[in-house]
Amino acid sequence: MVLTHLPKFHTHFIIPTPPPSLYIHRFSLCIPKFTLTTAASSTTQPPLTSTADTQIQIPLQNLFVPPETDISSATTPLTARILKGSNIVLSKYASNAQVIQAEFVKSSVRTEDCPSDGLPEFAIVGRSNVGKSSLLNSIVRRKKLALTSKKPVYHLIHSNDGKTQCINHFRINDSWYLVDLPGYGYASAPQELRTDWNKFTRDYFQNRSTLVSVFLLVDASIPAKKIDLEYASWLGENQIPMTLIFTKCDKRKKKKNGGKRAEENVEDFQGLIRDFFQTAPPWIMTSSVTHQGRDEVLLHMAQLRNYWLKH
């Protein structure tokens, strides 16, 4: 969904209140910035190691605090409850996060053709070549769950090469779905097909009642792209719950060549997001190479999913 220009919001603009499953609580407490260096509890699977040292300064007002989570009275230090490499506070709903089973269910070109069993789902979307398929495979510990290709196939049909241009549902643990959506921003795609992809993706976002959250993937190894900012602003403007997933955080740019580290690009992107939204969305740093962020993504999905199921 490529916008012709970035929406111009007034400085007092607040994202309209999304569904309760992703309501972002705001706090007016004034405390010094702290450094995110500790990790919250992981899944029951063996912990994964990361080659990256995540050092990002996060003001309290930029944290994502899940519903029914009190950060003022807990006995555990707040820094110990923040998921590593993210701005997300761990809540009591973060349970049953591990992936035991994953299977492809179907590809759809219309929202009404998607599975109708009422299970909660998380949609994964991002710019072409952002590493979406690699992240999906990393999350479920499978090499070929999601199909990968060097170029998108320009057909809105169910075919071996065209699955990434459909709404693809993967059932996890027979209880929830990961949804692989078409990549956007591929310049070589015919304009009429880019329009079709945008249309059915927008329809899915706005009309899929079981959608818990959209996970928008952003390449952290490069500076912020206008098209990613446009996509994020459209989701916020249309009250679509969103989590930012920064990919390729294992890549290190050499300072002498003018490149920035992933942490710096993440901070820059957050600064640009704050220009549009008063409340910062939840975000997680990831790498499909080192598996950085895998457990954090699953824990975040678990607490959103379990809260959604309860309410």
Count the neighbouring beta carbons within 10 Å of the beta carbon of residue 277. 18
Angle, vertex CA 227, rays to CA 127 and CA 148, nearest 5 = 5
| Most confidently predicted of 31-40, 164-173, 203-212 | 203-212
Count the neighbouring beta carbons within 10 Å of the beta carbon of residue 153. 16
Mean pLDDT of 112-141: 91
pLDDT surpasses 90 at 134: no
- pLDDT tier for residue 228 given thresholds of 50, 70 and 90: very high
pLDDT surpasses 90 at 306: yes
Q: Please compute Rg for the chain using Cα positions.
A: 18
- pLDDT tier for residue 210 given thresholds of 50, 70 and 90: very high
- pLDDT tier for residue 297 given thresholds of 50, 70 and 90: very high
What are the residues facing 21 on neighbouring strands? none
Evaluate whether 18 touches 237 at the Cβ level (below 8 Å): no
Span 51-77, pLDDT tens digits: 344 556 788 888 999 989 888 866 778
pLDDT at 5: 40
pLDDT at 218: 96
**Average pLDDT in the chain:** 74
What are the residues facing 57 on neighbouring strands? 35
Share of the chain above pLDDT 90, in %: 38
CA distance 18 to 11: 19
| Most confidently predicted of 6-10, 156-160, 282-286 | 282-286
Mean pLDDT of 68-94: 86
pLDDT at 206: 93
Of residues 223 and 30, the one with the higher pLDDT is 223
- pLDDT tier for residue 299 given thresholds of 50, 70 and 90: very high
Evaluate whether 108 touches 114 at the Cβ level (below 8 Å): yes
pLDDT surpasses 70 at 92: yes
The label of the residue with tokens 């190479």 reads: 289
Of residues 251 and 190, the one with the higher pLDDT is 251
The label of the residue with tokens 């459909």 reads: 166
pLDDT surpasses 90 at 85: yes
- pLDDT tier for residue 153 given thresholds of 50, 70 and 90: very low
Mean pLDDT of 266-295: 85
Out of 4-13, 146-155, 174-183, 291-300, pick the least confident. 4-13
